[in-house]
Structure 1
Amino acid sequence: MLSPASQLLVRNQERFSEGRWLLVNPQDSAVFSALSGDLYGYHQYFDIYQQASRIKAKHHHFGAEYPQSEKFDGICIYMPKAKEQAEMLLANLVHCLLPGGQILLVGDNKGGVKSSPKLMAPYAEHCNKVDSARHCALYGAIPDKAAKAFKLESWIKQFKLQVAGVDITLCSLPGVFSHGSLDLGTKLLLEQIKEVPNGPVLDFGCGAGIIGCYLGLMNPKAKPLMVDVSALAIFSASQSAKANGLEAEALPSNGLSEVKGSFAGVYTNPPFHTGLNTDYQVTADFCKQIRPLLRPNGPLYMVANSFLRYQPLLEQSLGAVEILLDGTKFRVYRCHRLR
């Protein structure tokens, strides 16, 4: 199904009919079928990347940055929720334009797209609204100013923190959950973990890798696997592991789709937001699918907002659930696979 932003692009089909076009972080894969032309996709989210790759398998790239050796006549960026992520995308992609090429920015009116002229100011003298519909707007600009060299590493925010007596160094990129800080829910979760089992342990929805790094630092015999749908999170988690001297793997996955093997323990502050809307489906599927991946007697720790009803789903999948902390904002659960 076409998102409202994609429907707005289809209204402007003629813009994509000539030259090579790069669509950046589209909110749906259907836009690659709805638009005609020489289209390429750049994805920082693994779910849409997988879906879009099945439509035009040779025309899609997944990663934290786009190769600057690739050049396009036009680039269309779906406005991300985080302004700094938009700034990073522009700093990267302006180097992927052919001379005279144009950049389009599309998004929900409530999602920051109205700031497009300000975002484009370092690169173009003029940025104009092209069209609006479906509560979305489309802005366009032709960069005519010299752009600074882009290096992904310069956008990393590195910081040190201590949780439950464990010193951790974290690295995060714009667009990663709780960028540059430790969120309260994760802090509460980590404070409830008193011991970490040997062997493979899973950090689901890893973000910058705080949980996986904590597990590895708590027990050097643990082997953390950090999983997230975001390429920015996977890159950040990998950098965090290196900064802490850990051998931990970071894996892109749509939910648990790419996760193989079994785990001595599973730990998560699961996602429940997608774009501007609330979405619980990823975590609901996780609760239903985690059982075969968790070894017998292995613990599962989860923190979630108190209003989210994940306890019944965990009970159906694993059995009895213990509430380790029940606060006004967050609840920490622990359960085991007993059979």
Structure 2
Amino acid sequence: MAINNINQLLIRNIEALSATRPLLVNIEDQGFISQYLSQHSAANIDSYHTNYAEYKTCQQIQNARVNAHFCVEYVAKTKHDMAIIHFPKSKAEFSFTLEMLAESMTENATLVIVGENKGGVKSAEKLGIDYLEYCNKVDSARHCLMFIGEYKTTLPRFELQKFYKHYQIQVQEKTLEIAALPGVFSQNALDTGTEILLAHLPDIMAGKVLDFGCGAGVIAAYIGTVYPQTKLTLVDVSALALHSAQTTLSLNKLSGELIASNSLSDVRERYDFVISNPPFHQGVKTHYAATEQFLADIKQNLARNGCITIVANSFLKYLPIMQEAIGKTKTLAIKKGFAVYQCYLNNKD
């Protein structure tokens, strides 16, 4: 397995990262955990993830000294003397993470912050000024930086709702209330791709609908409002997105099933309609494999005459994937750099 740059930086500093109750925050394993436990024989690790795929990987580690967690708000049963934090893609999410973890750390606990230069980690010291007594750069390698910090003694109590962004959108004469946590797609406004997708939904929708890669729940909320006879299921890999989507549904007096899933790993049912503005970013990197895999596998989750409608950047070659994996696919629109594709299973036209 190739080890990413962040873990290479951690491994080269592994002797200095001594703790008895370390907390890993969105750190991919890639063998780092076993090396850490070998180096620090008295340590017991908690590994907290907002990414379901990374959580499942960590959960599979067969070691009683490792506990994996997937949730929005982490609260420690036993306080930690160190936290190793992967600097998130959203700077607002960094503040969210620091404030959330404060109550889970012992007095004088060490904070280790690591991230790629192009991912914004250079701003860790500036962004942490309200939370940290100090935040000092201690190493640099593989286009990554490592900072060491310590919490201030007095910090505000963490309130999840404080970090929500709320806004209204107007789509096809329908007004929706949207709520999103930091780092969630569509956190601040309706994105262009989703706006174009919502203008090209099937004319009639009923039965079971899957919103794949739901983000803040914009697509599902709109469908549930326009087509109240639908049964909504929302899927995302992010705990922050799923919590946001649930909040958006509630604000619009809607209900739905929310599923944490690595692509379609935990999706079991078949759906009459699958609607998606599928993600193509993983952290700060452009990453198409997850969406390509979703399109290749979604047929197994379509009802007999099910329909899938997606929007994507028009330069992405999703049309031939859909043609091969699902069936005859139409291009409904190409607008503002986006394309809307639609395929009905068993379509004979």
Deviation at 1:276, TM superposition (A): 2.3
Provide the secondary structure at the position in 2 that maps to 1:215: helix
Matched, 1:35 2:36: yes
Report the more deviating stretch, 275-284 or 226-235: 275-284
Structure 1 residue 195: Cα displacement: 3.0
| Structure 2 residue aligned with 1:241 | 249
Which amino acid letter does the alignment assign opposite residue 12 of structure 2?
Answer: R
Q: TM-score, normalised by structure 1?
A: 0.96
Q: Does 1:169 align with 2:177?
A: yes
Does residue 335 in structure 1 map to residue 343 in structure 2? yes
Deviation at 1:298, TM superposition (A): 1.8
* CA distances 1:224-247 after superposition (whole Å, capped 9, x unpaired): 101000000000001111111111
Aligned pairs, number: 339
CA separation in 2, counterparts of 1:327 and 1:161?
20
1:52 aligns with 2:58: yes
- More displaced stretch, 130-139 vs 230-239: 130-139
**Does 2:81 match 1:103?**
no
Question: Residues of 2 paired with 1:26 and 1:165: CA distance?
Answer: 43
Corresponding residue number in structure 1 for 2:89: 81
In 1, the alpha carbon distance for the partners of 2:248 and 2:78 equals 29
Which of 94, 104, 126 does residue 102 from structure 2 map onto? 94
Tell me the equivalent position of 2:285: 277
Which amino acid is the alignment partner of residue 52 of structure 1?
A: C
- Contact 1:305/1:329 (<8 A) preserved: yes
* Shift, 1:194, TM fit: 4.5
1:63 corresponds, among 62, 71, 89, to 71
Deviates more, 1:150-159 or 1:123-132: 123-132
The change in CA–CA distance for 1:29 and 1:165 in structure 2 (over 3 A counts) is farther
Q: CA deviation at 1:28?
A: 4.1
Unaligned runs of 5+ in 1: none
1:5 aligns with 2:11: no
Distance 2:127 2:78 in 1: 22
Following TM superposition, by how much is the alpha carbon of 1:18 offset from its aligned partner in structure 2, in angstroms? 2.9
Picking from 273, 276, 282, the partner of 1:268 is 276
Question: What percent identity do the matched residue pairs reach?
Answer: 39
Letter in 1 for 2:24: L
By how many angstroms is 1:179 displaced? 1.0
Secondary structure (helix, strand or coil) at the match of 2:107 reads strand
Instruction: Out of 193-202 and 320-329, give the one that drifted further.
Output: 193-202
Identify the residue that residue 22 of structure 2 maps to in structure 1.
21
Query: Contact 1:29–1:48 at 8 Å: present in 2 too?
Result: no
The reply on whether 1:188 has 2:189 as its aligned counterpart is no
Q: Distance in 1 between matches of 2:17 and 2:149?
A: 15
Does residue 212 (structure 1) correspond to residue 220 (structure 2)? The answer is yes
Q: Structure 2: how far apart are the matches of 1:233 and 1:128?
A: 31
SS at match of 1:91: helix
Amino acid at match of 1:24: V
Q: Are the counterparts in 2 of residues 196 and 215 from structure 1 also a CA contact under 8 Å? A: no
Q: CA deviation at 1:144?
A: 2.8
> Any conservation in 2 of the 1:114–1:137 contact (CA below 8 Å)?
yes
Confirm or deny: 8 A CA contact 2:75 2:103 kept in the other structure. Answer: no
**More displaced stretch, 114-123 vs 49-58:** 49-58
Partner-residue secondary structure (3-state), 1:223: strand
Deviates more, 1:194-203 or 1:277-286: 194-203
Question: In 2, Cα distance between the equivalents of 1:12 and 1:223?
Answer: 50
Q: Under a length normalisation based on structure 2, what TM-score does the superposition of the two structures give? A: 0.93
In structure 1, how many angstroms separate the alpha carbons of the residues matched to 2:130 and 2:204?
48
Structure 1 residues 315 and 78: alpha-carbon distance in aligned structure 2, compared to 1, 3 A threshold: same
The CA deviation at 1:70 is: 4.2
CA contact (8 A) 1:2 1:28 kept: no
Q: Does 1:130 align with 2:138?
A: yes
Distance between the aligned counterparts of 1:300 and 1:72, measured in 2? 46
Whether contact under 8 Å (1:195, 1:218) holds in the other structure is no
| CA distance in structure 2 between the aligned counterparts of 1:68 and 1:22, rounded to whole angstroms | 9
CA drift of 1:93 comes to: 0.8
- Decide whether the 8 Å contact of 1:196 with 1:222 is kept in 2: no
CA distances 1:137-189 after superposition (whole Å, capped 9, x unpaired) = 10011223411000111111121111112221111000101212110000000
SS at match of 1:26: coil
Is the 1:30–1:52 Cα contact (8 Å) retained in structure 2? no
Aligned to 1:255: 263
Shift of the 118–69 alpha-carbon distance from structure 1 to 2, 3 Å rule, reads farther
Divergent runs of 4+, >6 A: none
- Structure 2 CA distance for aligned equivalents of residues 302 and 123 of structure 1: 41
Q: Is the 8 A contact 2:19 2:82 kept in 1?
A: no
Q: CA RMSD in A?
A: 1.5
Q: Output the CA distance in 1 between the equivalents of 2:29 and 2:160.
A: 26
Given residue 59 of structure 2, which amino acid in structure 1 is its aligned partner? S
